[in-house]
Every structure is written in C-alpha cells, then in structure tokens.
Amino acid sequence: MSVASKGQRVTVPELRGRKGAEPIVVLTAYTAPQARILDPHVDVLLVGDSLGMVIYGLDSTLGVTLDMMIAHGAAVGRGSRHACVIVDLPFASYQESPAQAYRNAARVMAETGCAAVKLEGGVEMAPTVEFLVKRSIPVMGHVGLMPQSVHAYGGFRVQGRGEADGRAIVEDARAIAGAGAFSMVVEGVIEPVGREITASVAVPTIGIGASPSCDGQVLVTEDMAGLFAEFTPRFVRRYAELGEALGEAVAAYAADVRARRFPGPEHCFGVPKRAKLA
Ligand code: KIV
C-alpha cells in the first residue's frame, strides 16, 4: 500500500518494523513546497543538515544552527501529511552531554512537530542515544561517513576501507542499535561494510553510498533532481535535470520582459476588453 493511500503519517514503530521487508524510501526536504511534492511518494522526509550546503551555500554542515533546523523542520512539517518527518541535530547541539542533547532534541521535537531526531556518531554517542530514547525521543543514528566530522577526516572520504576501520564502523552501528536507535543512516562506506552492518543490526539501515542491501535508501533531493550542480557524488543517480529546466525557464522569462512580451493584457487588472497595451 502506498504511503499516501493510508491517510496518516508513517510512524517510528512502522519504520522499525520494516527491517528486511519493503525498502524504506527517504529523501531530504527543507521547505514546505518541496515537502508537498515529495510527501506522497516517500516514507520519510529527512530535514538534513545538508541544508547548510544545499540551501545556504556553506562549505560544510558545521555552520548549521539549531534555529535553522527548527525553522526548516517546521516548514517541512507544515508541507507534509503522510511521511514521517525526521530532523537532524546540528553540529555542537548534542555532542557535549546527554543533557545538552536532550534539551536540544526536545526543543526540535516540540517546535517542529517531527517524530524523531537524527544524530551522527557511533560507540561514543551510544550513552546519549540511550538517554534520549529512554526519555521518549526516538533517535535515528548515522554511522560511516559523518559529515559533521569532515575536519577530523581531512575531507569527505569513503570510510571502512581498511580491515580495522570497517570493523570499527560495524561496532559503531551495533552500539547505536543496542542503545535503542530505531534506525540508522549508513553513509559513504565500502559496500561490504554496508552489507555487514545491515546483516548485523536488528533495526533498518538507510544507505547513502553504502549498499543496495540496506533496508532503505536516502538521497539529497537536490542531487537526484539535478538542482545542486556544484558536484555529483558517485552514489547519486540523477532522475531529472531541474536546474537546467529552471535556467531555460528563466532565460525565456528574461527575454519576454526585455521584448515587452510579458506581461500581456491577461496578466493585468482593469484592462478594457479590446484595449491594446504598449
Ligand atoms: O544531512 C543530510 O541530508 C543527511 C543525509 C544525506 C543522510 O544526513
């Protein structure tokens, strides 16, 4: 049954129950009009902190603030009816302590109406995940390539290439699942690591540059729709070239304005029926 035909929002327990079943479809959304378009087709609308780069033109996600996430999370909530809305906790809003994470996650949930928060981290974040989950804040984890750690990596690099690195990421995933995360994003890892994580945790994995065997997949909407042309990672399939289409539409509009072909009488108010304008 399609998400839209159920007539209610997808819930966190429903997503958790999809392990090994029908793949979970996730896309990022940052605005109400975008959410309205995506909502009938997806299970989850992820308000990702990738909005720092995609919407605000930042170099990384590190400059994204809690207020930015709350404003965009609330907009996506208003623009959707069916998908489960999950909002990223931004850099430095949860790493300091479980209490800091609780305070900020609770604010995100109360002010956006989202069903869950997502946070990056492995073994070291497991106590925080447990603290939140025990206090009724559903948590989606995020392991593998964690964009908030870009400076620790020295760049956006595929993770898990060495034997020990791969093992550590699988341990991260197990720790987060053991702490109560209901699902987790697995990003930018070599395929065998994505596959092994999916086989070894009891909650759904959502892959991005991970493995087709993940329990679901996520892409940044602007990447798959051809709206973010800065660069296209290998793991993205472009389903449309909306950036090109928009460029052509804007060029046609500009030409019409310059040639006085727009606006026409039909776009004006109070024009006598047979009057010819300019
Ligand atoms: O911030 C984001 O959009 C994300 C997804 C790419 C998983 O974390």
217-248 per-position pLDDT tens digit: 999 999 999 998 777 889 999 999 999 999 99
Separation CA 167–CA 117 (nearest Å): 26
Among the residues of 159-241, which ranges form H helices? 163-178, 191-200, 221-224
- The two beta strands, 44-47 and 116-118, are unpaired
Separation CA 236–CA 42 (nearest Å): 17
Q: For residue 187, indicate whether it is catalytic.
A: yes
Separation CA 130–CA 178 (nearest Å): 9
Separation CA 13–CA 17 (nearest Å): 6
- 6 Cβ contact list (under 8 Å, min separation 6): 82
Its sign, for the CA torsion 193, 196, 201, 203, is positive
Q: What is the pLDDT of residues 32-77, one digit of tens each?
A: 999 999 999 999 999 999 999 999 999 999 999 999 999 999 999 9
The amino acid sitting at 75 is A
The residues facing 220 across adjacent strands are none
Quick check: CB of 48 below 6 Å from ligand 1? Answer: yes
169 pLDDT above the threshold of 80: yes
Catalytic residue among 120, 130, 187, 222: 187
Q: How far apart are the first and last CA of the chain?
A: 55
Which tokens go with 245?
């289409």
How far is ligand 1, taken at its centre, from the CA of residue 220, in Å?
Answer: 7
Q: What is the pLDDT of residues 189-204, one digit of tens each?
A: 999 999 999 999 999 9
Rounded-to-10 torsion of CA 60, 62, 66, 67: -60
Separation CA 36–CA 90 (nearest Å): 24
Q: Mean pLDDT over residues 164-170, rounded?
A: 97
How far is ligand 1, taken at its centre, from the CA of residue 28, in Å?
Answer: 7
Q: Closest residue (by CA) to atom 4 of ligand 1?
A: 48
Quick check: CB of 50 below 6 Å from ligand 1? Answer: yes
What is the structure's pLDDT at 2?
Answer: 42
